[in-house]
Chain A
């Protein structure tokens, strides 16, 4: 069954090319992936990310419960701070990657991937034993817009009194007015640019979209679809669940060791992850550039030393760098910078080379 976000009619009205994504009808593009990608890098783009899931975790044991559930150290969060974290199974495989918003000592909001909502909610509920917490799936009551790009603050400042310049990267305001609507506003995103994510009631999503588009009219703001969301996050080397992360891929293998705090105490997957770290990883995520012509796509075999040594997890043309780039999970010995690889594209091998990640980093 496919679902529509509260902005579906707006996407059609704005000329969005609608596709099904994780059970949702969403625009892959409006004016074109490359044009939208460039707008986000140079000016601003507006995304509908209402398909993302939201789960509330409340109660006296909320912190202890989350510490057990995820790999990052949730105790480091202050009120109104946001944290990125993987969430693992006991075997070290990844349930999902998510954002944790700390609203108060006993009150957290988890933002999870759309395709994983049912799975995550079920997993989170099953792990409440022994903790005095309530876990509520509020996904269907929550819409979300992402305004991303260097002009995001300039645009948003036209329709809110909120002190945007005081919201640091990965911090949020729990309740502010934007265009006369009550929203939660965070300085977060999935594009490698500055920007904001705006959480609101479903009925406020369309008026907010229109107000932001109007405010951005003279700033080069474009409505942006899933297509450029993927090319933007790939350039920034932000993982995509189901590609760089999965039940078969641990956060350490995906290069997310910074978000795995093995010294914080026990948590799901800790033993396996600790062992992976102590014994060394057998495979690792590597970023590569194709030096031959062609585009590497997800699941294409990676060849090194004359045999298959891994596979591509994500690959695309990079509009900012004008190169064909990708991420691949490969045997550790082939993951070092400068390593020559080959990517098998439709039966033919194309030369590639491991390069530093991220491929793109914004200035400042």
Chain B
């Protein structure tokens, strides 16, 4: 299981990579391993404003439907359209190829409520919920 140090994590198993006001979001290696074979990712529309905690994407594996929650509030400024054709990237490359969306944050202070890599790793070791 991989927990890159430079990322932040939510207890809902999203990862967040912060560059200035932009937060790139995807689901974690732990999350994809729990979901199994991913066959579809429903992407948000760009321009949509989201609140932290709101469902903004859906990842479907063969067996399960999983809501993906926005870990921070803001506006969706980019989505990874490649996932339309290669949803399996979520399993193969959860932190690189399978980013889901970029949110331009309206309240970067929300980042303080997220976990660092060590805390998230511990959270998953305890069962992750």
Q: Which of B10-18, B56-64, B69-77, B94-102 contacts the other chain?
A: B56-64
Question: Closest CB of chain A to B63's CB: distance in Å?
Answer: 5
Q: Which of A32, A33, A295 contacts B40 (CB 8 A)?
A: A295
Complex CA–CA separation, A275 to B58 (angstroms): 44
Whether the Cβ atoms of B37 and A33 lie closer than 8 Å is yes
Q: Which of B36, B40, B62, B63 contacts A294 (CB 8 A)?
A: B40
A296-343 interface with B by 8 A CB criterion: 297, 316-317, 319, 324
- B22-47 interface code vs A (CB 8 A; 1 in, 0 out): 00000000000000110110100000
Whether the Cβ atoms of B62 and A316 lie closer than 8 Å is yes
Q: Is B65 an interface residue (CB 8 A)?
A: yes
Whether the Cβ atoms of B40 and A317 lie closer than 8 Å is yes
Question: Closest CB of chain B to A304's CB: distance in Å?
Answer: 23
Whether the Cβ atoms of B62 and A317 lie closer than 8 Å is yes
* A contact face: mostly helix, strand, loop, or mixed: mixed
Question: Closest CB of chain A to B79's CB: distance in Å?
Answer: 14
* B contact face: mostly helix, strand, loop, or mixed: strand
Chain A residues near B37 (CB, 8 Å)? 32-34
Q: Is A257 an interface residue (CB 8 A)?
A: no
Q: Which of B39, B40, B60, B63 contacts A227 (CB 8 A)?
A: B63
Complex CA–CA separation, A294 to B60 (angstroms): 8
Q: Is A362 an interface residue (CB 8 A)?
A: no
Q: Which of A28, A29, A295, A346 contacts B39 (CB 8 A)?
A: A295
Whether the Cβ atoms of B58 and A32 lie closer than 8 Å is no
A1-50 interface with B by 8 A CB criterion: 17, 28-29, 32-34
Complex CA–CA separation, A317 to B58 (angstroms): 15
Q: Is B84 an interface residue (CB 8 A)?
A: yes
Whether the Cβ atoms of A319 and B62 lie closer than 8 Å is yes
Complex CA–CA separation, A17 to B33 (angstroms): 10
Question: Closest CB of chain A to B93's CB: distance in Å?
Answer: 16
Complex CA–CA separation, A231 to B36 (angstroms): 14
Size of A's binding interface in residues, CB under 8 A: 18
Whether the Cβ atoms of A227 and B84 lie closer than 8 Å is no
Complex CA–CA separation, A28 to B33 (angstroms): 13
- Which single residue of chain A is at the shortest CB-CB distance from B62? A33
Interface centre among B36, B37, B60, B84, by most chain A C-beta atoms within 10 angstroms, is: B37
Interface centre among B40, B61, B63, by most chain A C-beta atoms within 10 angstroms, is: B63
Whether the Cβ atoms of B36 and A32 lie closer than 8 Å is yes
Interface centre among A32, A231, A295, A319, by most chain B C-beta atoms within 10 angstroms, is: A295
Chain A residues near B65 (CB, 8 Å)? 295, 297
Whether the Cβ atoms of B62 and A34 lie closer than 8 Å is yes
Whether the Cβ atoms of A231 and B62 lie closer than 8 Å is yes
Whether the Cβ atoms of A317 and B39 lie closer than 8 Å is yes
Question: Closest CB of chain A to B34's CB: distance in Å?
Answer: 8
Whether the Cβ atoms of B40 and A293 lie closer than 8 Å is yes
Chain B residues near A319 (CB, 8 Å)? 62
Chain B residues near A29 (CB, 8 Å)? 36, 63
Chain A residues near B63 (CB, 8 Å)? 28-29, 33, 227, 230, 316
- Which single residue of chain B is at the shortest CB-CB distance from A226? B63
Complex CA–CA separation, A32 to B61 (angstroms): 11
Q: Which of A17, A34, A231, A295 contacts B60 (CB 8 A)?
A: A295
- Which single residue of chain A is at the shortest CB-CB distance from B65? A297
- Which single residue of chain B is at the shortest CB-CB distance from A322? B39
Complex CA–CA separation, A273 to B40 (angstroms): 40
- Which single residue of chain A is at the shortest CB-CB distance from B84? A293
Chain A residues near B61 (CB, 8 Å)? 33
Question: Closest CB of chain B to A317's CB: distance in Å?
Answer: 4
Return 13 A-B CB contacts under 8 Å, by A number: A17-B36, A29-B63, A32-B36, A33-B61, A227-B63, A231-B62, A293-B84, A294-B40, A294-B42, A295-B65, A297-B65, A317-B62, A346-B58
Nearest 7 interchain pairs by C-beta: A317-B39, A33-B62, A34-B37, A295-B60, A227-B63, A295-B40, A33-B37
Which B residues fall within an 8 A CB radius of A? 36-37, 39-40, 42, 58, 60-63, 65, 84
Which A residues fall within an 8 A CB radius of B? 17, 28-29, 32-34, 227, 230-231, 293-295, 297, 316-317, 319, 324, 346
